[in-house]
Amino acid sequence: MNTKTNSLHADKASAHSKKRKDVELFLDVKTHRQRVIEYLYSEFERLNLQGGSKLPPSRILAQRLQVSVSTVQQAYRVLADQGCIRLEVGNGTFLITPPSKKKHLHIAISMAKPNSVNSSPWSSRIAAGILQAASHASLPISVLSVSELLNGAHDARFRHVVAETDGLICISSSQETLVSAFAAAEKPCVYFNSPNILATIDFVSPDYFSFSAHLVDAGLRAGAKTFAILLNNRTLESSSSSQLRIAGASHAMARSMGRSTHLIVEPVDSMSEQSGYSAAKTLFDGSQHRPDLIYCAGDYLALGALRYLNEAGIQVPDEVMVVGGSGLHNPQTALAGLSMMDQPLENLSQRAVSMLLQRIKFPQVPTPGEFMSCGFFSGRTTTDLFNEHFVQIAKI
């Protein structure tokens, strides 16, 4: 990688790091305010307060919760904007409408049901995690798949589903029509994967940035100089997961300033095995810099790349390493032996349900976005040296 390109990556990585620090400070302040709001809601329910009840002064509540007076005042203003309380200068703060209590919830997920004809192994694991979390909730929850309604945003059934459900777990950032319909009905939405790279609230996501940075860092230490990332061309510009993978890899590449290193982003038409095969063929037949490591956004892309490398007589992992990015390892399938990102899909699903329940209970209080660390399944498509370096880096 030339100095100019490296400098650009370094600037982007520095800006991303500063942005993350600003977000952390913002979320810290917001978390204190949210804690005050959640406490007030729980007190409304516990004491069975009625409209007109007077609430504690800001100073008293601040001492009780060990927060600043301004934080309590901010929380009161949020509740006032909701129409839940009224602020009377000189008289105090009064409850207008106590929160409603639901006995049964209905949540929608924008994906096919697990094990249905239209479901993928990745989405099936997410849906299964959501169903499991719903079954362990403190009150009954019905889960409805709305994937078949995505193209009928104006029909009667679509409107009925939006009206009858309490919230949405959105799996793809491209489903804005669905999200907009729920927002118009004042129903909360939680994203599985951040809706965009700047998002700070109401999402849970694998930490693509850190995993990609660790991957490239381990590759550099293991002697790799040229890295290729295979990403879906249809969502390359809109997908936060794609952008975070690139940003993480660029961040690690910036540390190789002065060395001859290269990062290639290779777009693919789909996440299929055939697309992985075609991309690998392009990389080795027509590229000036043949990659030492191919990082695929999906595991089936990696299988396609491996099939091409095998046909071309290119040794894996000695000549080129291959890593899958969706974590669908199954010893009974062709994925056995593939080195891959291990996404905690079940934990992510359960956290998404928890977030949505929080948003349903407190409609006007956003939840801080959350990135979950991903593990690494060290298979036979990466070298032992690379695997050792990755484990060491991930522990730091």
In whole angstroms, what is the distance from residue 71 CA to residue 252 CA?
Answer: 38
Q: Please state whether beta strands 203-206 and 226-232 pair in parallel, antiparallel, or not at all (unpaired).
A: unpaired
Q: What is the pTM of this model?
A: 0.76
Nearest CA among 327, 318, 337 for reference residue 378: 337
Domains 3-17+207-344+374-395 and 20-95 share a fold: no
CATH fold of 3-17+207-344+374-395, please? Rossmann fold (3.40.50)
**Among the four given CATH numbers 1.20.1530.20, 3.40.640.10, 3.40.50.2300, 2.40.50.140, the one describing domain 105-205+347-372:** 3.40.50.2300
Going by the DSSP 8-state scheme, the letter that residue 379 receives in this structure is -
Largest CA distance in the chain: 82
**CATH code linked to domain 20-95:** 1.10.10.10
Amino acid, single-letter form, for residue 181: A
Question: Burial letters for 108-133: b for 16+ Cβ neighbours within 10 Å, e otherwise?
Answer: bbbbbbbeeeebebbbbbbbbbbbeb
Q: What is the pLDDT along the chain (396 residues), one digit of tens a residue?
A: 443 344 334 444 444 444 444 444 434 455 678 788 878 877 776 666 777 888 899 999 999 988 999 999 988 888 887 677 888 888 888 888 665 556 689 999 887 555 554 456 777 788 888 988 988 887 789 888 886 665 555 577 777 888 889 999 998 766 778 888 898 888 999 999 998 889 999 999 999 999 999 999 999 999 999 999 999 998 888 889 999 999 999 999 987 766 789 999 999 999 999 999 999 999 998 667 899 999 999 999 999 999 999 999 999 999 999 999 988 766 555 567 899 999 999 899 999 999 999 888 877 778 899 999 999 999 999 999 999 999 999 887
Query: Are residues 192 and 239 in contact, defined by beta-carbon separation less than 8 angstroms?
Result: no
Provide the token pair at 354.
């928890």
Residues 6+ apart with CB under 8 A from 94: 52, 53, 54, 55, 85, 86, 88
Instruction: Please report, for residues 121, 289, 304, 318, the alpha-carbon distance to residue 333 in angstroms, rounded to integers and kept in the order given.
Output: 12, 32, 14, 23
* Ramachandran angles phi, psi of 35, nearest 5°: -60, -40
Domains of the chain: which residue ranges?
3-17+207-344+374-395, 20-95, 105-205+347-372
